[in-house]
Amino acid sequence: MFDAHCHFRTGDCIFRTGELLPQNISKDYDVGLVRSSEIGLDRRFSSVLSMDRQVEILKEILQYAENNGIAVTLHCVRETGLMLEILGKMNFEPLTVMWHGFTGSAETAARLHGLGVIVSLGLKMSDRVAELYRANPYIVLETDYEGCDFNEYTRELEAHYERCAAALKMSVNELEKRCRELTNAFKN
């Protein structure tokens, strides 16, 4: 089954590492890693890397990705306003940026739709999928799975699809096909 964001190499997911995340990034980071790593802002780690520096790095990497036509997976914790402001100034093609692990408001989801940004929902978000889908039909599903138990992984992913498909009054197949098509730019 298709998974829009995970850290477990299953073959049918958009695999990302965390190498460029604020808490992990090295001093001599390589912007080219944006092909395989999620990037973003994380207020929890502002003592490790100041928010000013996080913003500076994010802008640099986003600009590189935009210039090189690389589809980007975003991570954002407690800096929604700042992230929206930065994205608003970029010129990404629609459906080439994904906000993974989205837990924000319908209003934010709607603004992201205006920017052509995909909103990816994790396992705890199935009760909000219908509300967010109305605000932004560019909704996809993810596990963000970091373990290595294939059975557990498959169970969680299937259950996620079943709950969300029921809430959206779609079939699981239809929903999976949609998630796959919306993220076409992420296949490389």
Q: Which residues bind Zn ion (CB under 5 A)?
A: 144
Cβ nearer to Zn ion, comparing 138 with 145: 145
The least CB distance from residue 5 to Zn ion, in Å, is: 6
The least CB distance from residue 166 to Zn ion, in Å, is: 25
Cβ nearer to Zn ion, comparing 12 with 174: 12
- Decide: helix, strand or coil at residue 19: coil
C-alpha to C-alpha distances, 22 to 17, 105, 113, 125, 130, nearest whole angstrom: 13, 24, 26, 24, 32
Cβ nearer to Zn ion, comparing 144 with 176: 144
- For Zn ion, the nearest residue by Cβ is 144
The Cα 119–Cα 65 span in angstroms is 18
Cβ nearer to Zn ion, comparing 3 with 144: 144
Residue from 25, 62, 38, 48 nearest 146 by CA: 38
Beta bridge partners, 42, equal: 77
The least CB distance from residue 17 to Zn ion, in Å, is: 9
Cβ nearer to Zn ion, comparing 79 with 144: 144
Cβ nearer to Zn ion, comparing 42 with 144: 144
Locate 3 and state its tokens.
């998974």
The least CB distance from residue 173 to Zn ion, in Å, is: 26
C-alpha to C-alpha distances, 20 to 36, 163, 167, 170, nearest whole angstrom: 9, 32, 34, 36
The least CB distance from residue 95 to Zn ion, in Å, is: 19
Q: Residue by residue, what is the 3-state secondary structure of 148-172?
A: CCHHHHHHHHHHHHHHHHHHHCCCH
The least CB distance from residue 8 to Zn ion, in Å, is: 10
Locate 156 and state its tokens.
């969680």
